Structure 1
Amino acid sequence: MQRLPIRFPTRLPVWLAAAGVLALAGCGTVPASSYDDGRAGAGRAATGKPAAVPAKMLMRLTEVHEATGMTLLEGPAFGEDGRLLVVDVTAPEGEPKLMSVDVRGKTSRALFTDGRGAYTSAQFGPHDGRIYLTDFAGGVILSLAPDGGDPRTFFSGEVDGARMNPDDLAFDPEGNLYVSDSRGYREGEDRGRVVRIDRDTRKATVLADGMAAPNGISFDEEHRGLWVSELTENRISYFLLDGKGGAASRHTAIRVDGGVAQTDSIAVDADGNLYQALHGRPAMAVYDRHGERLATVEVPEADAEGLESATNVAITPGGTKAYMTVSGPAGGYLYTFKALAEGTRQSNGG
């Protein structure tokens, strides 16, 4: 697969091997029909093994771009109008970098494009309703009006003497931003950070550094702490917050057995379950808050050819229908599945 031109850097070093190797069809899982949905931890099979949850194709959104040799969908987030936002990280200038999708009508329309950004996530700000995009390439966080207009730079510049490679973001209830900074990724060095940006002053503070390409970031269901995935170490770290904008503690919470796949974005449902997206396999690993593997959501083997990664998910707010972004040489797709619990802000973007 062609690498991205330098103007469109990405956190993905190489598109990994053929899809036939990557879609390993969930070793050690059991059929979704074995769910025990009547008890806590629904989604875990009655046998005690992780359940295999099949995802169903909804629609194809994009094809591989001739200019970049790739398409990579990310950052799904539902707006108040029920439409789903999706970004295409590798879309060139003139093609949609942010799309609005009518999931019922299976149609999409362009909301935003520009000549500079490689946007890796999208989320609505809780305090102003604007759309916030992380520009991995430019080190910028951009905000847009809900209709995709009125672009404004919310944050740019250095943080503690170094520019960010902002990947995903999460908002606390007050509207402050928490950003996974994959700085050092291209050099293969553990120089990544978690950065907090104050909503009003836009002052950036480093909560943690020395991380291995931090990618997914999401609050837990009570906003007491942050889950952060580290792509090049296949682990999920947990940060207990101190209530004053800082981190009281940090530890490795989950080690993800991804095989050839790596930890991408994270979402958290109303019961506190973690949906860990996998780069290198069109699948997601689902864990409870104690680190127990509950399920593997996966694209059916018959669909898997040409699909290499499931990057992220949005669960319908107040519902359980989930929409997973899946990409590869076959194009960029939305797949659906039933989540283990209802969607909240923590499972809607980032």
Structure 2
Amino acid sequence: MRRIPIRPLALLAVFGALALTGCGRATGDPGDTAGSVGAGRTIRAQQLMQLTKTHAETGTTLLEGPTFDADGTLLVVDVTAPAGAPKVIRVDVGRKTSRSVHTDDRGAYTSAQFSPYDGRLYLTDYAHGEIVSLAADGGDPRAFFSGEIDGARMNPDDIAFDKEGNLYVSDSGGDSSGGAAKGRVIRIDRDGKKTSVVADGLADTNGISFDVDYRGLWISELTENRISYLRLDATGKVTARHTAIRVDGGVAQTDSIAVDADGNLYQALYGRPAMVVYDKYGERLATVEVPRDAKGVDSATNVAITPGGTKAYMTVSGPAGGYLYTFDALAAGVRQSNGG
């Protein structure tokens, strides 16, 4: 999830201090260099349905955090939905219908993911530095975590759960463009009682996902347009980190990350309705694009790949509204490609 144009007065009224800075066919593409957005083959995603329109109160809409529940139903969040409007949306992709499952008068939710520990849906509230959880049906809202960590409040963007249900949260640290990199990766125990900073000095941390073996974390740093890799030990502490991939996005920036069963990375682009797909060694495999004649969409924020299948659902937004686009992923969906 990233910065979007919002009417200043509406922003103050609705979100307070929120600074929003997280079935295709393969075709030939001549490409250029391996690191550029035009390289590799092109996968054309197709529009499935429109979910939201621009909100009068906030002047925008921004879909994020697609995730499948245990029954295979897709849920999506709308970051900029005002009070009373659907903030968590349940989608029947077969019937192309949707309905609201949660709203409130406060949260600006930038991601959603189900915990492997308690089965609840966890949401990051970027505006208030909090994480809340809901029952699987969208009811029973609970405050999971709020407050400072090592003297600083979070701007939580995305979540990655480890196998035991502990949370690893990308904390953007606010906008770090033109200043010190304040982004962090925060670990919160599954009971919400113990926290730690596992990495800091990051440039506007956004996407976060475990690799397929849970040996490390892929993270995107928005204001540097790079993907970094954090190697973890058995206790979840970072033992090494390095820049893994530099994304030449032009005006677009690195948003959320998903990982499929083959370990491929799907890097969403804020500022362009597309995703870039790399293998774990940084080789550019493909670019997922919306059709060339698509109007009024300017960003792809995230993707969920059907667990055990290859049908992928990409959240795309812009002045025309918020949409779901579909394409065939390069490999099957796993937990790491289901929200975040």
Query: What are structure 1's unaligned runs of at least 5 residues?
Result: 14-30, 36-43
Q: Specify the alignment match of 2:65 in structure 1.
A: 75
Q: Is the 8 A contact 2:21 2:175 kept in 1?
A: no
Contact 1:131 1:143 in 2 (8 A): yes
| 8 A Cα contact 1:274 1:288, kept in partner | yes
1:218 alignment partner, one of 195, 205, 209: 209
Partner Cα separation in structure 2 for residue 194 and residue 3 of structure 1? 30
**Using the alignment, how far apart are the partners of 2:176 and 2:246 within structure 1?**
22
Partner SS, residue 117 of structure 1: coil
Asked whether the 8 Å contact 2:76–2:89 carries over to 1, the reply is yes
Q: CA deviation at 1:187?
A: 7.0
Write the distance in 2 (CA, Å) between the matches of 1:213 and 1:11: 11
Alpha-carbon distance between aligned partners in 2 of 1:108 and 1:201, rounded to the nearest angstrom:
31
Q: Which of 62, 76, 81 is the aligned partner of 1:86?
A: 76
Q: Across the two proteins, how many residue pairs are aligned to each other?
A: 320
Structure 1 segment 277-288 matched on structure 2, within 5 A: 277-288=268-279
Runs of 4 or more, structure 1, over 6 Å off, are none
Q: Which one of the candidate residues 262, 284, 288 is aligned to 1:293?
A: 284
SS in 1 for 2:293: helix
**Cα deviation digits, residues 275-325 of structure 1 (max 9, x gap):** 00000000000000000110000001111x210100000000000000000
Query: 2: CA distance between counterparts of 1:331 and 1:201?
Result: 35
Could you tell me how far apart the structure 2 residues matched to 1:341 and 1:224 are? Answer: 20
Q: Distance in 1 between matches of 2:137 and 2:120?
A: 9
Tell me if structure 2 keeps the 8 A contact 1:216–1:229: yes
Query: C-alpha displacement at 1:12, in angstroms?
Result: 2.8
Q: Which residue of 2 aligns with 1:209?
A: 200
Please say if residues 191 and 212 of structure 1, whose CA atoms lie closer than 8 Å, have aligned partners that are also in contact: yes
1:50/1:296 contact within 8 Å kept: yes
User: In structure 2, what residue type is equivalent to 1:319?
Assistant: G
Contact 1:136–1:166 (CA<8 Å) still a contact in 2?
yes
- State how 1:1-350 maps to structure 2 within 5 Å: 1-3=5-7, 5-6=11-12, 7-8=14-15, 9-12=18-21, 32-34=26-28, 50-185=40-175, 188-189=178-179, 190-200=181-191, 202-303=193-294, 305-350=295-340
**Contact map agreement 2:144 2:192 (CA 8 A) in 1:** no
Contact 1:310 1:324 in 2 (8 A): yes
Q: CA deviation at 1:34?
A: 4.9
Amino-acid identity (%) = 69
TM-score, length-normalised on structure 1? 0.89
Matched residues in 2 for 1:326 and 1:74: separation? 8
Asked if the contact 1:308/1:328 (under 8 Å) is kept, the reply is yes
Partner Cα separation in structure 2 for residue 251 and residue 230 of structure 1:
12
Kindly indicate whether the alpha-carbon contact (under 8 Å) linking 1:11 and 1:186 is maintained by their aligned counterparts in 2. no
C-alpha distance in structure 1 between counterparts of 2:87 and 2:28, whole Å:
40
Contact 1:307 1:327 in 2 (8 A): yes
Letter of the 2:335 partner, please give it: R
Distance 1:104 1:340 in 2: 21
| Distance in 1 between residues matched to 2:192 and 2:58, nearest whole Å | 37
Cα-to-partner distance string for 1:105-124 (whole Å, 9 max, x where unaligned): 10001010111110000000
